Structure 1
Amino acid sequence: MSLNKLNAISPIDGRYRGKVEKLADYFSEEALIKYRVHVEIEYFIALCEAELPQLSGFDNSKFDALRKIYLDFSSEDAQAIKEIEKTTNHDVKAVEYFIKDKFDALNLQEFKEFIHFGLTSQDINNTAIPLSIKDAMNDVYVPQYLELLSAIEKLAEDWASIPMLARTHGQPASPTRLGKEISVYVVRLKEQFNLLNDIPSAAKFGGATGNYNAHKVAYPKTDWQAFGQKFVQEKLGLHHSFPTTQIEHYDHMAALFDTLKRINTIILDLDRDFWTYVSMDYFKQKIKAGEVGSSAMPHKVNPIDFENSEGNIGIANAIFEHLSAKLPVSRLQRDLTDSTVLRNVGVPFAHTMIAFQSTLKGLGKLLLNKEKFEQDLENNWAVVAEAIQTILRREAYPNPYEALKGLTRTNEKINQNSIASFIDTLEVSEAIKAELKAITPSNYTGI
């Protein structure tokens, strides 16, 4: 049976494939193979540039032809490597043999043994995977994040002056403004994104146990640590972790996943708030011709985009949590548990992208129901009690909190008239009474 969107086990390769297809260039099996080939080729070139005696006869004009091996890498090339792997039963060794075949085709046979020279497979995996994550972040994640952030910022600006009844513990509280409440998310997202930018994309490179043993025994006069640092940082654009065991310690990668998780959590918080605002009738939703909200109730327009986002964030964060908790832990100099876990690194990115797009879609459907905002404020005059008692405190009025508590904590309806009547009973100047009566739920919104 050939794989298609209807028989894929994972919804990210089935129902949602169109939303996450770009990630295949970074996190698919083919992409991983391509990144491995990239690292192997650049490593060979770096060895040539290090002027090892046995590579002195290599024609440097061939570098472009070597780079074409990964620049022009095709699905057929990936399949050829998978065929080799059936014999080797080792994925990285299959890449090495594939490149050796390419060297044969380029009449470079005499240099073949410097492919993968002195390396362990983790020197390739622990550079290829961080490189793929870095590229996916820059090419896919960041543009999608910025698009969503921009949409949230625009709503904060558009609705900056809309007064709104706040609710703490689900109960009416001091009024606020809709735009300000949205701007809270903007600031939170930006602060986490700044932290994200501070996390290096780290990679390990140093042989079977991180000490360049094989390199040093072959060429004891070469500064292999300096070579590795230059290769990882200048050729690949990654941060060189040293010292390490056989594998990268993954602490920076864990920090990346934890920060991505926090950004997701902020979006989830936003999803739930807007879902609640829709349920409170603060927003209507744009209706698209032909869409059905409920199979049974024709009137319904459900906030499904915020729900979809929330669900996908839950899955993404669960996997990010496991990755960040598991990857930095490895028995002694290395066990294999990181390898199988890292094969799933694209999954939380995919669910995150689905969530971002769903939130963006949900925000785009919102229609402000200004009358409902005004109605809620008018129905909750009790919230100006805080303002009145604070001014009375300023004027050294005796027991103002208790006086307002007695007025507002009853089952009787508090409205503008009852507040005004209460103010008239206060033993304060007419100027203070006028100041107090000027306060309304719609203008008591702070800064």
Structure 2
Amino acid sequence: MTTEFPKKHTDLGALEPAIALGSLDGRYRGVVAPLVDWFSEAALNRARLFVEIEWLIWLTDQQVLPGAPRLSDTEKDYLRGLVSEFGGHEIAELAKTEAKTKHDVKAVEYLLKSALEAAPAKLGGTSDLPRVKEIVHIFCTSEDINNLSYAILLKHGVERVWLPAARALQEQLAGLARENAEVPMLAHTHGQPATPTTLGHELAVFAWRMSRQLKHVESQEYLGKINGATGNFAAHTVAVPGADWPTLSRDFVEERLGLTWNPLTTQIESHDYQAELYASVTHFNRIAHNLATDCWTYISMRYFAQDLAAQGSTGSSTMPHKINPIRFENAEANLEISSGLFGVLEETLVTTRMQRDLTDSTTQRNIGTAFGHSLLAIDNLRRGLAGLKVDREAMAADLDENWEVLGEAIQQTMRVAGIAGVPGMEDPYERLKALTRGQKVDAEVMHDFVAGLGLPADVMTRLQALTPANYHGLAADMVRFLD
């Protein structure tokens, strides 16, 4: 008999304080909380307020509008204080206003106008700020404010939160690579024993790959525009025909906001720079994902042991002997979610129907979620790496079980000797294939084979000294390229 979930139950969605719907604002809030300052709805509204205020100050500073007063330093400080002190009260006021306006940017505009009206009382005397109410949002479409706000949030969110975390992972990995530069390890190409390498070399490969993507992110441009309803300063030139609007726009975007000016847009900034940024972050994610799966595999092979205390995790709920590699599994899953979201952002944001549609509006509200899952994965990878212990004995035992991997070195040495005129070096590949393919070869078999080749004494000595543990070429030396 089926027992159905009770129809009458507590409505969890109605409880106070509110219960998070998603894991980032629930279970993993502590890890991703720094992103709230840049990618939340409140952060977006604060950035909008910042752009509106700076545009007002810019126009009055430049004396673009006939009859507009020049603001005093005190008045500018008052306006800018609205941004620095933006908090719970302003968030509540915006929510109340938006419930009436049904328009988020308009709510910010009204909040600023209300602050202008209150300025004389706040400043303790007369002020020109009530006179400049009509300058608020002048010549702007909502997208003028939004695109600049998102660019500011992305620039600071990436540079202050995501990049430091990603760099820390790369640097931690590079440190592990240097520390284990000379630890020999059997390689596995196609999952089969292959020419040995060192653990440090393999970790260095990941650190090097990550560093290249971080350079792309570090050099990323953040574009912005402020040019009106269809990107051509149409209303501007009618209302104030004598102003050099392209120059005013460029200087505001670049000098005042620290962004890169985009001169050619429709109503929206085209979001191409966002797609470029997300592609670089996604590429970093995928490299990190590869690291996570390789670490998981090496744990399963016992090349790595795990320290529960360092990882901050527990084992199986039913099998007490197990230490599950959950940091790497958690990272793997979150990197997949992050990359999937970034892929949607890349594809959706670079298209719009003619001069404007609103698909980008709801899409961009998921930017923080995409970065959140990446940040969570980075945190798990760092904790996972910190809890790894290299089992050199397990690696050494695996190497000693696979003497056949020396077949490559012997074959290539025979080729070189044959080219130099040493007799009896014919068909080296075929002879080593017959000796090693599908065969378990130990040290004695390999030494006997080399002894019977008729190689020059110095060459034979060199090959006889070769073991799977010391056959890793310049792997250890290559780690220095991280520096």
Q: TM bucket by the smaller chain?
A: over 0.9
Which 5+ residue runs of structure 1 have no aligned equivalent?
A: none
**Other structure's SS at 1:246 match:** coil
Q: How far, CA to CA, are the matches of 2:456 and 2:279 in structure 1?
A: 57
> Structure 1, residues 193-252: CA drift from partner, whole Å, max 9, x if none?
112223211112111111111211111110111001100111111111111000010111
**Map of 2:55 onto structure 1:** 43
Work out whether 1:217 is the aligned partner of 2:238.
yes
**Other structure's SS at 1:172 match:** strand
**Other structure's SS at 2:194 match:** strand
Letter in 2 for 1:244: T
> Structure 1, residues 89-147: CA drift from partner, whole Å, max 9, x if none?
11111111111110001142221000000110000000001110111011101111121
**Other structure's SS at 1:174 match:** strand
Work out whether 1:375 is the aligned partner of 2:397.
yes
Query: Are the counterparts in 2 of residues 156 and 183 from structure 1 also a CA contact under 8 Å?
Result: yes
**Map of 2:43 onto structure 1:** 31
Q: How far, CA to CA, are the matches of 2:399 and 2:377 in structure 1?
A: 33
**Map of 1:340 onto structure 2:** 362
The alpha-carbon distance between structure 1 residues 291 and 235, as it changes in their structure 2 partners (threshold 3 A), is closer
Work out whether 1:406 is the aligned partner of 2:444.
no
**Other structure's SS at 1:414 match:** coil
Aligned alpha-carbon RMSD (Å)? 1.4
**Other structure's SS at 1:395 match:** helix
Query: Are the counterparts in 2 of residues 30 and 75 from structure 1 also a CA contact under 8 Å?
Result: no
**Map of 1:280 onto structure 2:** 301
**Map of 1:244 onto structure 2:** 265
Number of paired residues? 445
Compute the displacement of 1:58 (Å). 3.2
Q: How far, CA to CA, are the matches of 1:410 and 1:243 in structure 2?
A: 64
Compute the displacement of 1:56 (Å). 4.2
Letter in 2 for 1:200: E
Q: How far, CA to CA, are the matches of 1:301 and 1:55 in structure 2?
A: 73
**Map of 2:458 onto structure 1:** 431
> Structure 1, residues 265-301: CA drift from partner, whole Å, max 9, x if none?
0000000000000000001111339964111101000
**Other structure's SS at 1:119 match:** coil
**Other structure's SS at 1:54 match:** coil
Q: How far, CA to CA, are the matches of 1:334 and 1:33 in structure 2?
A: 21
Letter in 2 for 1:300: K
Q: How far, CA to CA, are the matches of 2:93 and 2:67 in structure 1?
A: 28
Q: How far, CA to CA, are the matches of 1:291 and 1:395 in structure 2?
A: 55
**Other structure's SS at 1:288 match:** helix
Instruction: Give me the identity figure in percent.
Output: 40
Work out whether 1:17 is the aligned partner of 2:65.
no
The one of 82, 86, 92 aligned to 1:69: 82
**Map of 1:149 onto structure 2:** 170
> Structure 1, residues 304-334: CA drift from partner, whole Å, max 9, x if none?
0000000000100000000001101000001
Q: Between 250-259 and 106-115, report the one with greater CA deviation.
A: 106-115
Q: How far, CA to CA, are the matches of 1:128 and 1:25 in structure 2?
A: 13
The alpha-carbon distance between structure 1 residues 410 and 71, as it changes in their structure 2 partners (threshold 3 A), is closer
Q: How far, CA to CA, are the matches of 1:109 and 1:421 in structure 2?
A: 97
Compute the displacement of 1:360 (Å). 0.3
Query: Are the counterparts in 2 of residues 292 and 298 from structure 1 also a CA contact under 8 Å?
Result: no
Which 5+ residue runs of structure 2 have no aligned equivalent?
A: 1-13, 121-128, 419-424, 475-483
Letter in 2 for 1:129: Y
**Other structure's SS at 1:166 match:** strand
Query: Are the counterparts in 1 of residues 59 and 65 from structure 2 also a CA contact under 8 Å?
Result: no
Query: Are the counterparts in 1 of residues 231 and 265 from structure 2 also a CA contact under 8 Å?
Result: yes
Query: Are the counterparts in 2 of residues 163 and 445 from structure 1 also a CA contact under 8 Å?
Result: yes
Q: How far, CA to CA, are the matches of 2:234 and 2:388 in structure 1?
A: 62
Query: Are the counterparts in 1 of residues 308 and 314 from structure 2 also a CA contact under 8 Å?
Result: no
Query: Are the counterparts in 1 of residues 292 and 332 from structure 2 also a CA contact under 8 Å?
Result: yes
Q: How far, CA to CA, are the matches of 1:402 and 1:54 in structure 2?
A: 90
**Other structure's SS at 2:231 match:** coil
Letter in 2 for 1:97: Y
Q: How far, CA to CA, are the matches of 2:285 and 2:17 in structure 1?
A: 29
Query: Are the counterparts in 1 of residues 65 and 240 from structure 2 also a CA contact under 8 Å?
Result: no
> Structure 1, residues 380-439: CA drift from partner, whole Å, max 9, x if none?
00001110111111110211111111111244x301000011112212233332121111
Compute the displacement of 1:53 (Å). 4.4
Q: Between 104-113 and 369-378, report the one with greater CA deviation.
A: 104-113
Q: How far, CA to CA, are the matches of 1:246 and 1:109 in structure 2?
A: 30
- TM-score of the pair, normalised by structure 1: 0.97
Q: How far, CA to CA, are the matches of 2:436 and 2:65 in structure 1?
A: 89
Q: How far, CA to CA, are the matches of 1:52 and 1:130 in structure 2?
A: 25
Q: How far, CA to CA, are the matches of 1:251 and 1:225 in structure 2?
A: 21
> Structure 1, residues 44-94: CA drift from partner, whole Å, max 9, x if none?
000011113435433322111111111111111121111111111111111
**Other structure's SS at 1:96 match:** helix
Q: How far, CA to CA, are the matches of 2:69 and 2:227 in structure 1?
A: 25
Letter in 2 for 1:296: T
Letter in 1 for 2:25: D
Letter in 2 for 1:82: A
Work out whether 1:186 is the aligned partner of 2:207.
yes
Mapping for residues 133-212 of structure 1, pairs under 5 Å: 133-212=154-233
- TM-score of the pair, normalised by structure 2: 0.90
Letter in 1 for 2:302: D
Q: Between 195-204 and 11-20, report the one with greater CA deviation.
A: 195-204
**Map of 1:313 onto structure 2:** 335
The alpha-carbon distance between structure 1 residues 48 and 364, as it changes in their structure 2 partners (threshold 3 A), is same
Q: How far, CA to CA, are the matches of 1:342 and 1:292 in structure 2?
A: 37
**Other structure's SS at 1:332 match:** coil
Work out whether 1:302 is the aligned partner of 2:324.
yes
Letter in 2 for 1:373: M
**Map of 1:234 onto structure 2:** 255
**Other structure's SS at 2:309 match:** coil
Mapping for residues 121-136 of structure 1, pairs under 5 Å: 121-136=142-157
The alpha-carbon distance between structure 1 residues 202 and 291, as it changes in their structure 2 partners (threshold 3 A), is closer
> Structure 1, residues 10-65: CA drift from partner, whole Å, max 9, x if none?
00000000110111111111111100000000000000111134354333221111
Q: How far, CA to CA, are the matches of 1:198 and 1:259 in structure 2?
A: 11
Q: How far, CA to CA, are the matches of 1:25 and 1:195 in structure 2?
A: 24
**Map of 2:411 onto structure 1:** 389
Query: Are the counterparts in 1 of residues 147 and 269 from structure 2 also a CA contact under 8 Å?
Result: yes
Query: Are the counterparts in 2 of residues 306 and 359 from structure 1 also a CA contact under 8 Å?
Result: yes
